[in-house]
Amino acid sequence: MRPENRIPTGRLCRPKALLLDFGGVVVLTRHNPDWPERLAAHVAALLRDVGAADPRLPTPSIAADIRAAAIADSHWKNAMSRPYAPRELRHEEYWGDFVAADWPAAARDAVVAEAAELCRVMGHLRSERTLRDGMLDLLDAARARSIPVGIVSNALAGQVHVDFLTEHGLLDRFAAIVHSDAVAMRKPNPGMIEYAAGLLSVAPADCWYVGDNYDRDVLCGRRAGVGGNILMEARKTYDPPYDLDLRPDAIVADPVGLLALFTGMTGEVAA
């Protein structure tokens, strides 16, 4: 249910650092419906190249297993919002256990050996990303105030996010980038925020954390004790996998709303 009251609770600190989720906050994503078939064609070519193609594993069967793996992974992610300190799924686990568990051994071994790159390819094929309106203005405002900005994001392949930032000339705008696959933990594990804050030499209590999900982000911010636990609305914000008795310190519709909140708390910059 969408909350009617978006007024900040008054618990927001004056931030010394700004930590942002990637998908839903820095960018919006749009899924490509044919991504399993495109990825299956890529995997089939890989198997042929390494001599692991098998007549028992035609390309449509590969696509069906890729679709099934995505559904299983979604359920796994929802379950991992319950433990206090969940870990991230390893690339090899995703391909060896979720996709290729019943494949011929040679084919399974081949995708496990290339699991990291396959996760990167999958990330690019699965979704298209666009920078959210107002994000550049927010980054400019933080830079003008010498307040570092970091990314704290769950990602099976964080390199996909880095590729996007590099392509758009934004990589140097972030003083710290923490992806779950790189640190072997995932939100709502508070270690994600604690690690990012440490990279910026700031205590979590002096950071704002901005995410778009209750079960991953708001819960993670509460566990880490951030000084500003902010929810930004995105496509699945109000569709959590289960009910949680959580209230963020503020709710914003988009980076434009976050910028207004941020400048209101940090003041004007001297000319």
pLDDT in tens, 34-44: 999 999 999 99
- Both tokens of 127, joined, read 């979704």
What percent of the chain lies above the pLDDT cut of 90?
A: 94
Q: What structural domains and CATH numbers belong to the chain?
A: 17-26+132-266 (3.40.50.1000), 31-127 (no CATH)
pTM over 0.85: yes
What is the average per-residue pLDDT within 49-68?
98
Distance CA 54, CA 214 (A): 44
Query: What pLDDT does 262 receive?
Result: 97
228-232 and 207-211: which strand pairing? Answer: parallel
124-170 confidence digits (pLDDT tens): 999 999 999 999 999 999 999 999 999 999 999 999 999 999 999 99
Name residues whose C-beta falls within 8 Å of residue 246's C-beta, 6 or more positions apart in sequence: 214, 218, 219, 222
Report residue 106 as tokens. 């040679």
What pLDDT score was predicted for residue 4?
Answer: 44
Distance CA 118, CA 50 (A): 14
Side chain identity at residue 127, one-letter code: S
Answer yes or no: are the C-beta atoms of 119 and 156 closer than 8 Å.
yes
